[in-house]
Amino acid sequence: RGLTLVEMVVVAALLLACSTPILYLLSSSSRSQEQNFRRTYAHYIAKRVLEFASARANRQGFNSIAVHSEFLSPVESDSGPVSPYFRLFGVKGQSITNQGDPRFFKILSKFKLRFTLDRVEGQSANSSLRNGLVEVEWERADGLGRSSLTLQTILSDVSRL
């Protein structure tokens, strides 16, 4: 005695109905993991830039800190000028290149950043405090636009104290 055609169709329909949500969960989990990876990396980039700016302000003052209000690319490519802060991630202050480290180049090429340094609200123009703001933007893992992350901190120029 074997299975009838109707029984086979019912079993196939049940398998399809049960496997569709599982496949969706796996796919969704993968996209979520990639998005979290990019957000974590963006946070690392922003934190590294703020740490560098803070150290530079303490040693050499605010005038030594490069600012740019437009989003700049991390790697040298046809997409526009390179942010000076992405040299922080290269070996001995050199830019990241596709030939030198292709995996790192591929990761960084998804990001852009801008860094601004503004007066702290309520402080005079000659104040030794500035508001450092880093905004990192990246392509979303699902391909539906871009995401961004912003970190800011108060920087002090101890040479003015």
User: Rg for the chain (alpha carbons), in Å?
Assistant: 24
Instruction: Convert the pLDDT of each residue in 32-67 to its tens digit.
Output: 888 898 999 899 888 988 888 888 888 888 888 888
Distances (CA, A) of 31 to 18, 27, 113, 140, 146: 21, 6, 23, 9, 14
Instruction: Convert the pLDDT of each residue in 62-120 to its tens digit.
Output: 888 888 888 888 766 666 677 777 666 655 555 555 556 677 777 888 888 899 988 88
Contacts of 67 (CB under 8 A, 6+ apart): 115, 116, 117
pLDDT value, residue 12: 93
Measured in residues, the chain has a length of 161
Contacts of 107 (CB under 8 A, 6+ apart): 41
Write down the pTM of the prediction.
0.72
d(CA 73, CA 83): 6
On average, the pLDDT of the chain sits at 82
Least Cα distance to 84 among 148, 75, 92 occurs for 75
Q: How many CB atoms lie within 10 A of CB 113?
A: 23
